[in-house]
A and B are shown apart, each in its own frame.
Chain A
Amino acid sequence: MNLAMSDAFSEPPPTPAAESTAWAGSEAVYASAYRDLLRVAFVLTGSAAAAEDAVHDVFAKVGPRIDRLIEPAAYLRVAVVNRCRSLHRRTVAAPTSDRAIGAVMDVGLVELRDALMALPIRQRSAIVLRYVCDLPEDEIAASLKCRRSTVRTLVRRGLAELREVIR
Chain B
Amino acid sequence: MKSMSDEEVAQTETLLRKRLAQLADHAPTTVHLPGVVAVVPGQRRAGRARRAGMIAAITGLIGAGGFTTYSFLGASNGGGAATPEEAVTTFVSAIEHEDVLGMIDVTLPEEVGALRAAVDSVQADAKRVGVLADQLDVSGVQGVDVRVDDLVLDTNFLEGDLALVTATTGTFSASFDPQAFPFGDKMRRLVGDSGAVDTLKWALDGSGTAAQVMTVQRDGRWYVSLEYTLAEYIRQSAGWALPGPVSRTPVGFDSAEKAVTGFYDRLGALDLQGAMDTFAPGEDAMAWIAQSWMADAQAALDRGRKEGWSLGISGLTYATIGTGERLTLKPLAFKIDGTVPQHYTATADPTLPTVVAAYDGSGYALLPPGEMPPTTDGLTFTDNFAFPADSNFTMANSNGTIQPLVFASEQTAGAQPFSFERADGCTTFSGTGGANSLLGVFSVSPLATKVDGGYRICGDDVAAGGIGLLVLSGGGPFNLPSVSVVQSGGKWYVSPLGTLLASVSTGMHDATAESSLFDSAIAPFLYGGFSRTMLEALAIDQPADSVGPACLPALIVENGTITGVIADPPLDAVRACAELGFRSSSSSGAAVVTAQPPPVTESSVP
Contact = CB atoms under 8 A, between A and B. Distances in A.
Interface of A: 1, 16, 20, 27, 30-31, 34-35, 38-43, 48, 51-52, 56, 59-71, 74-75, 82, 101, 104-105, 108-109, 112-113, 116, 127-128, 131-132, 141-142, 145-148, 156-157, 159-163, 166-167
12 contacts: A27-B34, A30-B31, A52-B28, A60-B37, A68-B73, A68-B74, A70-B72, A109-B19, A113-B23, A141-B135, A145-B137, A157-B1
B33 interface: yes
Contacts of A101: 26
A112 B23 contact: yes
Contacts, number: 146
Contacts of B31: 30-31, 34-35
B37 A35 contact: no
A104 B27 CA distance: 12
Contacts of B475: none
Given A35-B31, A70-B71, A109-B22, A162 B16 contact: yes
A147 B135 contact: yes
Interface string B6-41: 001100110111111111111111111111011110
Nearest to A27: B33
A38 B23 CA distance: 12
Given A68-B76, A69-B72, A70-B73, A43 B27 contact: yes
Contacts of B8: 163
A133 B582 CA distance: 60
B2 A160 contact: yes
A70 B33 contact: no
A62 B20 CA distance: 28
Contact of A142 (B15, B24, B71, B135): B135
Interface string B70-112: 1111101011000000000000000000110110010000000
Contact of B26 (A59, A61, A105, A146): A105
Nearest to B137: A145
B553 interface: no
B1 A160 contact: yes
B78 A16 contact: no
Interface size class on chain B is 35 or more
A166 B101 contact: no
Contact of A31 (B17, B19, B33): B33
Q: Interface of chain A, helix or strand or loop or mixed?
A: helix
Contacts of B135: 141-142, 146-148
A61 B39 contact: yes
Given A42-B27, A66-B34, A61 B15 contact: no
A166 B72 CA distance: 41
A89 B78 CA distance: 32
A132 B19 CA distance: 10
Contacts of B28: 38, 42, 48, 51-52
B73 A61 contact: no
B244 to A, nearest CB: 34
A108 B73 contact: no
Contact of A43 (B12, B24, B39, B73): B24
Contact of B79 (A39, A48, A65, A145): A65
Nearest to A24: B34
Contacts of B140: 145
B4 interface: yes
B12 A163 contact: yes
Contacts of B13: 131, 159
Given A27-B33, A132-B20, 18 more contacts: A39-B27, A40-B24, A42-B27, A51-B27, A56-B32, A60-B38, A62-B101, A67-B73, A68-B72, A74-B70, A131-B16, A148-B135, A160-B1, A162-B16, A163-B4, A166-B12, A166-B19, A167-B15
Contacts of A159: 4, 9, 12-13, 16
B18 A109 contact: no
Q: Interface of chain B, helix or strand or loop or mixed?
A: loop
Nearest to B182: A145
- What 6 A-B pairs are tightest by C-beta distance, nearest first? A1-B21, A42-B27, A39-B24, A63-B39, A70-B71, A34-B31
A125 to B, nearest CB: 13
A30 B32 CA distance: 9
A30 B33 contact: yes
B155 interface: no
B70 A70 contact: yes
B16 A166 contact: yes
A114 B227 CA distance: 52
Contacts of B59: none
B17 A131 contact: yes
B134 to A, nearest CB: 9
Nearest to A74: B70
A16 B76 CA distance: 14
Nearest to A141: B135
Contacts of B40: 60-61
Contacts of A71: 70-71
Interface in B300-325: none
A38 B12 contact: no
Contacts of B72: 68-70
B292 interface: no
A43 to B, nearest CB: 5
B24 A42 contact: yes
B142 interface: yes
B26 A104 contact: yes
Contact of A145 (B30, B33, B142): B142
A52 to B, nearest CB: 5
Contact of A20 (B3, B16, B73, B142): B73
Contacts of B18: 1
A157 B1 CA distance: 8
Contact of B4 (A20, A112, A113, A160): A160
A65 B76 contact: yes
A56 B30 CA distance: 10
Contacts of B15: 166-167
A59 B37 contact: yes
Contacts of B35: 27
A41 to B, nearest CB: 7
Contacts of A146: 135
A31 B32 CA distance: 8
Most buried by B among A68, A101, A145: A68
Nearest to A130: B13
Nearest to B29: A35
Contacts of B70: 69-71, 74-75
A65 B107 CA distance: 14
A35 B23 CA distance: 14
A105 B9 CA distance: 26
Contacts of B19: 108-109, 112, 166
B78 A64 contact: yes
A27 B32 CA distance: 10
A41 B37 contact: no
Nearest to A143: B137
